[in-house]
Each structure stands twice: as structure tokens, then as C-alpha cells.
Structure 1
């Protein structure tokens, strides 16, 4: 009884499938001689048994499922013959045949399972001594078992399904290879990046839509069997396309390594290239592959994200991350702050793209490596920025310029600060400081922290100037030094971002220092000389000559950096010396003036107006022709 209940349930399950194939069954005109012979033979023997035994009812119930098995097999055999065409004239029709063939195989297996149960029940009721009937029932049962295993055999080597899927794999590969082409590299990647005429307005189509549809259909067919087969082919073909897309770029620099003792200047020229190349890889190349991967394998989320993660490795994305880490490993120096901010700007701009295409679990390693790089960049930039004031203080151990000129550190610090305050860097640095503060759970962070730190750097510089001025043995030279530096700070910073930050009162104060130190310089250097002309005729001229020669000789190597300030200073000296000297020289009160007069009035004027020039041109040219980064290098090198 239990067997009958199981048989009834299985029969209901297969009834629906039998109905679906009823149309194909009735259309089948090909008869297989061995199957027909077995059907008639089995029917004859089973009918004879039914007439002679008590299991007549069971035998009549077994005949329909047995007959159905052989009819289904006829459909399976016909569909199998149609699948042998390769390459298929119509891919979608071929895939439809394959799907129907698989459905027919499933129905064959289920129907044979039902028939086997009925025939096994019959066999149990037969008398083993009735060899003739027992033999024929066993023969029928063996044939049913053979048909029951037909579906499994189709997947074995040289089986119909195995061959069909191999053919589909070849078709999948051919579609990819013949329609995949490398992405053209924009010309901007070979220049400074200022010319954007060649940048993509929108992503090009990776593959024609008709090809994508065919790939989708093949993937859907493989989905119930072994989709990894399609993935392996896809990764291999598209991975090579990604590699070919990058062949035009020289990416060897990505493998450069630095130690903590190496200057970032060694690789600074590659950092801008790195940013442009990474943007191309992420925003264009990988975005294209991400979209295509989703279209082809989109119905299988885990599959297509894993597929994309493997293709992404062909873009050398991890080498790009490695290069960023290389920059963070370099020596801690002023120039490195700008380079870290450049890297942060690139990563920050690409953050939505990174989150979009690398957001899946299969890309977790890339996510982790990127987060680690951002952490190193942020920490490194904050450390350098907050240490700048201390670095300026360390320069107090050095000596001031021997000619009283503006120290390189002054020009460097002011232009460095102006660069930090520029719109290209200030927003980035403020964001970096904010991120770092959030990591430190510092709830007191404000944007004012940035301004306070910059002001602190300038104040450290001002203190340096005071300390350096005291190191001059000649007080007059210390006044020239302070006059030069105050003039530079008041005039060169006026109208700049740093000048605006320090404030108008700060600029006015340094402007006043120029007048103050100029007055002190004149009094200390030249103020006592006119008094010497009040002595007797001989002594006042010879005394003047000696004093003038001494001061002029000492100051012949001194420099006043600004042309207008130099001219003004020389005019003030002439106002102190020339009128008195001219009166004495041209006066007839001397017994023999020409005997003691060493210089004519014109010579004195020429000598005074030519002062403070010896190094000015060289200094001025260097200021005009040297970029900020060049000055940083000179300061670091001590030149």
C-alpha cells in the first residue's frame, strides 16, 4: 500500500511536466526500433502475465507510465539530434532547444522513476519459478534503469550536454574576443593634464548591445550547471583587454620604493602622473568593466562582483595604492606635505567611484588597502603641518646671511604659507585636519585651527629674525638685515592670502619697522662722519677720508634687496654726507684743499649710489626664476 501512495504522489508531480511536452510528443515521427520492439514485447508479456495472475489490476496501472517513459525518450532523442548542429545557425533557437532538451531529460528521469516503482512491485508478486515472465519483467526493469541514468550520462565526456556546453563555451569566447577592444587612452595622460579636450564626455560602449544580449543568454544557460566556466573565460579575455588599454602608459614608476631616509623629491615628478593615471583607471577603465560585468552576469550578484574584482587586478590598482604608500614612507619634509595633499585630493575626488565599484565583498582587500593609504596620508600630512613651526625654530641654530639680505627661510616660509592658503590646498588641508581630529575624538576642532597654526609659523619666523639680528657683530649690519626683512614682509605679503591672514595692522607694523631701522642704520653708520669736518682744515678732511673709507669698505658687501628701498637708503646717506662735504670741498677757506681732498663730490655721489648692489641682481633673478618647489629644494640642500 505504501508503494501505491508513493507512486500516486510521484505521478501527480510528473503529470504537469508530461503535459508541457505533450505537443512535442505528438509531433515526434521518428521511432526507435529498439524502443518500439521493447514496448511491444513488454506490453505482450505483461498482458499475458495479467491474464494468468492475481495482480491484473497492478499490471494495468503500470503500463501507462512505462509507455510514457519510451515516448518521452523519443522526444529526448529527437531534440538531442537537433542539438548536434555547431555552430548553431541561430543562437537563441539553439539555446531554446538546449533548454527543452534539459527539461525533457528531467521528465524522462522522473517518469522512469515512477515506472520503475510500478514494475518493481509487479516483480515482487511474480513467482520466481515462472522464469519466462520473470525474465521479461526483469528485462523491462533493466531498460527503465538504463533510461533513468540517461540524463547523468549526457553530462559525461562526449555526452550530448557536455558537448553542447563546450560548444556554447566556444561561442561565448568567440563573442568576447571578436568584439572586445582596448579603451583608447586620452592624450591628456601624456601631458600636464591642463588640456581636457580629449577627456571622455561619457563612457563608450564596451560591447555592442546585441553581443551583450547573446552573452547574457549563454550565461543564463550555464547558470544552472557551471557558471564558473563563463567567468573564467570572461576574466581571461577582459583582463587582457584591460592590460592592453594600459600598454600606452609607462607605469614602471609604480614599483619605485622609498625609505624613511629618502626625499620625496626623488619621485615628486611622478605624483601628478599617478593622479591622472589613477583617475583614468578608476573613472573610465574600471567603471566600464564594472558596468559590463553587471550587464553580463547581473542576475548573479555574488558571481559578477567576484568576476569584476579579478578583472580589476589586471588594472594594477594595487600597484597604484602601493605607490601612494611609497610617498608616505619618504622622509618627513616640508615638500612632502604638498605631495600628501595632492594624493589626498585624488583619493577624495575618486571616493564615490571607489565606493561604487569596489563596494562589494569580493573587493574587500582593495577597500582595506585604500583605507590604510588614506589613514597614512592623513596622519602624515597632519604630522608635518603641526611640526612646521618647530622646524622653523630649529633654523635659529644657523647663522643669518653675512650680507644682511633676506634669508632663504623667510622667502620659503612666506611663499610656503601662501601656497597652503591657496584654494588648491587650504580646503584639502582643513578637511585632513578635520578627519584626523575625528579619529582622535577631538570635539573642539574648528576651521580656525588651520589659521592659528599658520600664524604660529609666521611668529616663529619673526622670532628667528630677532635672534639672527643679534648675532651680527656690526650693529649697522643688523639694522640693514632687519630693514630688509621688514620691508620684504610688509611689501611682498601685502595683497596676498598670508598678508590678509596676518592682518593690516601686522603689515603696517612691519612697514613702520622699515623706517625705524633705516633711521637707526643712518645714525649708527653715517651720522658721526659730518662732525669730523668741523676740525681744523687738515684733520677734518683726512679724518673724513679715513672714516668714509672705513664705512664704505665695511658695507661694500652689504645688500639691500629691494631696488626702491636701496635707492631710498642711498639718497638718505647722500643727504647726510654730500651737502656738508660739498661745502668744505668747494670752500676757499682751506690753504690747500686739493692736497687733502681724496674724493670729488661727484665721486662721493657715485660711490654712495652704487652701494648695496653687489649681490642684488643675482638675488633678484633667483627670486623671479625659482619656483616654490625649487626654493624648498634649495632650503633643504642649504644653498
Structure 2
């Protein structure tokens, strides 16, 4: 036999021997796979121990399957491996389900209880006893990162979860892994939102809802959104990083986006819904609260979604922020228009501070707490200052129109004095001072002082005219005429008594202004009266019923002037000097 043929036969013999050895080895590996499968099926699930054993068995099955050489044996191994992968996938889900946690710390609990006590803001809220909502808010933003992040799954099972994920990933079960994790955690997220008590609400529902209810929902949304993003989504991202971070960053980001997209869109739909409603003035502060919440949380949301491939969440977030800002600007414009168009002829009979003045000044005082937000909405500090200045100008114009409904010129001036003084005090005693400026305060101090002087002239000028020297003596004589003096004293008494009767019913609420006005009036009236009585009182000595003409002492008048501007009308009829 030729040497070449001998070599070929020898090689074929060796090949048969090798195939025989491979066959024996594959058969042994097949038996091992069957034993491992049997052992895997015998395990009880729903415990960390069974999950760990299932993981170990599946790891061995995966290693054995990779070494199988026969195609039919390899197919058998893949079938066993697939069955094992389904088992550890179920163990993976069981661990996520049975060992999930969603507790909150004391800081978050206190935030929740405080949220329920917020004051409602409505048109009727803007009186002098207004408590600004901004001062009642407890910001979760003050929590540190350590306080915000919680364990959503018991840390004891994290190593097993991570190992299962690694094995499924390297075994090309990436899609099954993502689906299993996403489904499990989406269910957990739904439970969290249920605990936070914020359900999805349609545009129609919000449109037909009482404002007090919408107001309450906005307060809850502000709290829920901060808690959900800063605590739960941050913790969810951390959990994903702990399980998938070492496996694949893109896988971790994909899982997080898939889990959080639906609840985030759900929560972001509420501000959009509110922004579609009518821009009524009482809505502004809650809308600004929502806007500030979105601005405050933008950094957190960006950190969570900066790796998102399509950027849809961040794009939607910025769109919501833009819509809400435009809605807030619309309300600011509506507020200004509402003041301008409020032309009711109703006036206060006592000339006190008008409700529209209280409402507007308390409204913009509360608004000043949103200073930085207003600057962003109104094109900077200058735009904000111009807006406030325009509100003040419109309000003053409105007040001037209302003052003309008074037929008494003196009361017109009392009304304007009271209202301008109120505006000045509100600006001086709040953050409005830094916006309106000291020049505004000085000029308006001058304004209400001018109204005070105009009041004195209009009110007391005619009364004091009876105390002038001109016309006391008959032409060509230097002796005062008793008849003229009688008429002068009678005229003064009648004028003073009428002024007293009317002006005790007028009201000057500001105590300092009231005292200043009384002092100024006393100085003018008493000085003129004392001088006149001192100069001409003796001319009526011996006149019958002298007390009817010189009815009051200067001290009496001083006491009567102290009764003015209390808002309780009185009369001096029948009061005589004792």
C-alpha cells in the first residue's frame, strides 16, 4: 500500500477516535445539563436563596452549552439554557417585586403634612391680614443628596440582581432583561404615584373645576413633582446604575427612560392643562409657584435625562416651562387691564382706603416675593420695575376718577390722601421698596401731603373766613360792629359744628396721618379762634345771651378736633361751654 494511502487511513482512524471522544464528552455534558435542569426545576422560587442557586445553576448551564460541539447537542443545550434564562428572569422579577421599598424619611413626611396647611389665594385673600403663600412653603430643595435618595429595593438582594443581569446580558438576553426590569419597576412607579395621590386630570375636568379645587391641585402638584423627581426618580436612577452601571451605560439610560417617561409626561401634562385655562388674576401665584418649581427642578431633570438619545423628556419639559411662563405673563397683563377697566362708581362714604387699593397693593406686595421669576418673564429688572410702575400709575388714575364721585371737595382730598398714604406705607414696609425706589416714596409722600393741605383749605377755609378782620368795622369807623361780630361768631360756630358733624364720620385709618392732620387743623383753627376772641371778645361783653355767640373756649375746640376722622359721626348740637 502506498505511503500516502497509509497516511490517509491513519488520519481517518484518528478522526474517528476523536469523534468518538467528542461524542462521549458531549454525552456526558448532556447528562450534566439534564441534572442541572432537574435541580433547577426542583428549587422553590421567591427567595434570595433560590434566586442565588438558580443563578449558579444557570451559570453552569451557560458554561456547558458554550463547550458543546455537536450541533444537535448544542441545540439541546441552548434549549436548556433558554429554559434556565426564563427561570432566572422570573427570579429577577420576584426579587424586584418582593424586596421593593418605597418608604420616605422624616424630612419628606414633614413636607407633606405642611403642604396641607397652605392658605388659599383668591381675590378675597388680599386684605391687610394677608399671609404670603411663599412664607408658608417648606422647600424639599433644601434636602441634601443623602437625605433625598432612598433604597427602592432592599440592598441585600442587589448583588444577586446585578449578577443575574450580567449573566442575561452576556448570554444575549438583553431584550428580555430590559423588558422584565422595566415592567417590574413601572408597576412600582405606579404604586408610588398612587401613594402620592395625584391622578391624571383632563383639560375639560380642569376647565370645569372650581378654582379652589384647582388651587389645591396645584399645591399638591408642586409637592408631588419635587418628591417624585428629587426622591423617587433620583433613587430609581441610582438603582439602575447599581444593577446595570457596570454592564452597559446605554442599557442603564435606556431602562431609566423607558420606566420614567410615562409618569413624567403624566406629571408634566398638568401644568400644560392649567396654562390652557382662562388667565384669571387669582391664578397667578399658583402658576408662578409651578413655574418656580419647574425652574428649580430643571437641573435635576437635566442630570437624570442628559444621556437620553432622543431628548424627548427635556424637550417636553422646556416646552411646558415656556407655556407656563407665557400663561403667567398673560395673567400679569390681565391684572393690569382689570385695574384699568374697574370703573365702578361705588365709593366709601367715609373717604377711607378703597378696597381696590388694598387689593392691588397687597397683590403686588405678594408678587414681589417672586422677584427673580418676574425678571425672567418681564425681560429683566427694568421690565419688572416698569410693570410695577405702570400698575401704580393705573391705580392712581383709577383713584382720581373715583374721587370725583364725591361732591365734597374736602372729602375728595381725604380720599386721595388716605389711598396714596396707604400705597406709600405698603411700599415702604415691604420688598416693594427695592422695586419702586426711594424716589417714588418721596414723591408720593409729597403727593398725600399736598392732598392734606388741600383738604384743610377746602374744609376749613370757609370756617376761618368768619375770623378775618376785614369788614368788622363799619366804613369810616374804627369801632368793631357788634352786629357784624355776632354774625361772625354765629357763622364760625355753625361752620365748625357742621364740619365736626361731617368729619367725625370721615375715616383716616393711618393713626400717624390722623394725628398729624388733627394737629395741623388745631394749629390753624385754634390760632385763628384765639386771636379773634382775644381781639373782639370783649366787644360783646354785656350783650344779651353772649354765650350763644362765643359758645366755645379754645380748649373745647381742641378737644372736639380730636374726635375727627374716627368714622363715627357725632353732633355738637346743644353743646355749650361750661
Instruction: Give the TM-score normalised by structure 2.
Output: 0.75
Shift, 1:282, TM fit: 0.7
How many angstroms apart in 1 are the aligned matches of 2:57 and 2:210? 64
Q: Give the equivalent residue in structure 2 for 1:189.
A: 112
Equivalent in the alignment of 2:65: 102
The answer to whether residue 445 in structure 2 is matched with residue 499 in structure 1 is no
> What is the alpha-carbon distance in structure 1 between the residues aligned to residue 348 and residue 433 of structure 2?
24
1:321: Cα distance to partner?
Answer: 1.6
Aligned match of 1:395: 342
Query: What is aligned with 1:513?
Result: 447
Alignment correspondent of 1:429: 374
Q: How much does 1:332 deviate?
A: 1.4
Within 2, Cα distance between the matches of 1:71 and 1:210? 42
Shift of 1:379: 1.1
- Aligned-partner Cα distance in 2 for 1:479–1:562: 15
Q: Which runs of 5+ in 1 are unaligned?
A: 1-50, 110-147, 435-445, 617-639
Residue 565 (structure 1) shift:
1.5
1:160 maps to 80
- What does the per-residue CA deviation read over 1:81-137, in whole Å, with 9 as the maximum and x for residues that have no partner? 3413233674554243122222123x222xxxxxxxxxxxxxxxxxxxxxxxxxxxx
Check whether the contact 2:427–2:436 (CA below 8 A) recurs between aligned residues: no
Cross-structure match for 1:284: 231
Deviations along 1:600-623, one digit per CA (max 9) or x if unpaired, are 77765554322221279xxxxxxx
Residues 101 and 151 in structure 2, CA contact (< 8 A), matched pair in contact too = no
Describe the shift of the 1:183–1:410 C-alpha distance in structure 2 as closer, same or farther (beyond 3 A). same
- 1:353 is the counterpart of 2:300: yes
Say if 1:325 and 1:376, in contact at 8 Å, map to a contact too. Answer: yes
Cα deviation 1:11-53 (Å, max 9, x = unaligned): xxxxxxxxxxxxxxxxxxxxxxxxxxxxxxxxxxxxxxxx9x9
CA distance in 2, matches of 1:226, 1:245: 29
Contact 1:182/1:242 (<8 A) preserved: no
Cα deviations by residue, 1:145-167 (Å, 9 ceiling, x for unpaired):
xxx3x433455xxx533432333
Q: Counterpart of 2:460?
A: 526
CA distance in 1, matches of 2:98, 2:434: 62
**2:509 aligned with 1:557:** no
1:99 and 1:415 map into 2 onto residues whose CA distance is 73
Question: What is the alpha-carbon distance in structure 1 between the residues aligned to residue 286 and residue 439 of structure 2?
Answer: 34
Q: Partner of 2:420: helix, strand, or coil? A: helix
Structure 1 residue 513, shift from structure 2 partner:
2.7
- Mapped to 1, the partners of 2:271 and 2:287 lie a distance apart of 9
Q: Which has the higher contact order (CA 8 A, sep 6+)?
A: 2
Distance 1:340 1:231 in 2: 38
Partner residue in 1 for 2:407: 473
1:409 matched to 2:365? The reply is: no
Any gaps of 5 or more consecutive residues in structure 2?
44-49, 116-136, 473-482, 570-578
> Residues 176-211 of structure 1, C-alpha deviation per residue, up to 9 Å, x if partnerless?
334322232521222146387987535234445563
Residues 585/340 of structure 1: CA separation in 2 closer, same or farther (3 Å cut): farther
Distance, in Å, in 1 between the alignment partners of 2:104 and 2:432 is: 44
**2:563 pairs with one of 596, 606, 610:** 610
Counterpart residue number, 1:543: 491
1 CA distance for matches of 2:153 and 2:425? 61
User: How has the CA–CA distance of structure 1 residues 173 and 262 changed in structure 2, closer, same or farther, with 3 Å as cutoff?
Assistant: closer
C-alpha contact (below 8 Å) 2:280/2:334 kept by paired residues: no
Two-structure CA RMSD over aligned residues (Å): 3.9
Task: Give the structure 1 partner of residue 475 of structure 2.
Answer: none
SS state at 1:413 partner: helix
Aligned pairs (5 A) from 1:232-381: 232-252=179-199, 264-298=211-245, 299-301=247-249, 303-312=251-260, 316-359=263-306, 361=308, 366-381=313-328
State the alpha-carbon separation in 1 of the partners of residues 59 and 347 from structure 2: 88
Provide closer, same or farther for how the CA distance between residues 389 and 162 of structure 1 changes in structure 2, counting only shifts above 3 A: closer
Query: For the residues of structure 2 that align with 1:504 and 1:62, how far apart are their CA atoms?
Result: 104
User: Displacement, 1:80?
Assistant: 0.7
Q: Which moved more, 1:466-475 or 1:285-294?
A: 466-475
Given that residues 537 and 590 in structure 1 are in contact (C-alpha distance below 8 angstroms), is that contact kept between their aligned partners in structure 2?
Answer: no
| 1:285 positional shift | 0.8
Corresponding residue number in structure 1 for 2:130:
none
| 1:222 alignment partner in structure 2 | 168
Q: Is the 8 A contact 1:258 1:330 kept in 2?
A: no
Q: CA-to-partner distance for each residue in 1:57-88, whole Å, 9 max, x for gaps? A: 89547625642541342242233134132336
Query: Computing the radius of gyration over CA atoms, which structure comes out larger, 1 or 2?
Result: 1
Is the 8 Å Cα contact of residues 557 and 612 (structure 1) preserved in structure 2? Answer: yes
| 3-state secondary structure, aligned to 1:493 | helix
* Closer, same or farther: CA 220–402 of 1 in aligned 2, 3 Å: same
Q: What is the CA-CA distance between 1:551 and the residue it aligns to?
A: 3.2
Please give the alpha-carbon distance, in whole angstroms, between the structure 2 residues aligned to 1:383 and 1:431. 14
- Cα 1:493/1:222, change in 2 over 3 Å: closer
What TM-score do you get using the length of structure 1 for normalisation?
0.69
C-alpha distance in 2 between matches for 1:468 and 1:544:
31
